[in-house]
Amino acid sequence: MPLHEGFGIDPAMFEYSGWNPYATPEMAERTVAEAIASYPDPHFYGWAIEHKKRLVGNIGAYDYDAKKNAVEIGVNIEKGSWGKGFATEALTTILQYLSADEGIATITAWCASDNIGSQRALEKARMEKVQVEKDALTIGNSTFDKLWFEFHGEGTEQTA
């Protein structure tokens, strides 16, 4: 299964999140089945990222908060495709879609302070760093600051 092979067995893929829903072929299948089951939810957002008919990543938005009209976004790019602009392109496209087409006012994302590639992708996609939570992430034997980013789309209204 491409998700297990491209994401689940490479420790670099979950080094800064500690989250690995693709660790085994069974977990990868369950994760895909859960995503498919979520399709009827109007606030389910998940996409595969392909290049030349090959899966290179995925992107999704989750934990929609109706009171705040906000959602959190996350992106994964397989290690062999890092540094090629896939994360930035996907983020830019989905941020525009969520804000302009779905009318979501605030889109958030976070990354570990040592995850320079993710920081750059978020910044290039015009997300603004709004908060640093000191020592907020402990993954294995490592502790990182958690960097929070936000995007406010044009034409969307923020709610308190």
What is residue 160's predicted lDDT score, i.e. its pLDDT? 44
pTM: 0.87
Q: Is 134 exposed, middle or buried (0-12, 13-18, 19+ CB in 10 A)?
A: exposed
Token duo for residue 81: 């495709």
Report the distance separating Cα 32 and Cα 140, nearest Å. 26
Report the distance separating Cα 21 and Cα 7, nearest Å. 9
What is residue 1's predicted lDDT score, i.e. its pLDDT? 59
What value, to the nearest 5°, has the Cα angle with vertex 118 and ends 115 and 119?
85
Report the distance separating Cα 29 and Cα 131, nearest Å. 35
Q: How remote is the C-alpha of 72 from its chain's centroid?
A: 8
Walk along the chain (160 residues) in steps of 10 and give the mean pLDDT of each run.
Answer: 72 75 83 89 92 92 95 93 96 97 96 95 98 94 95 64
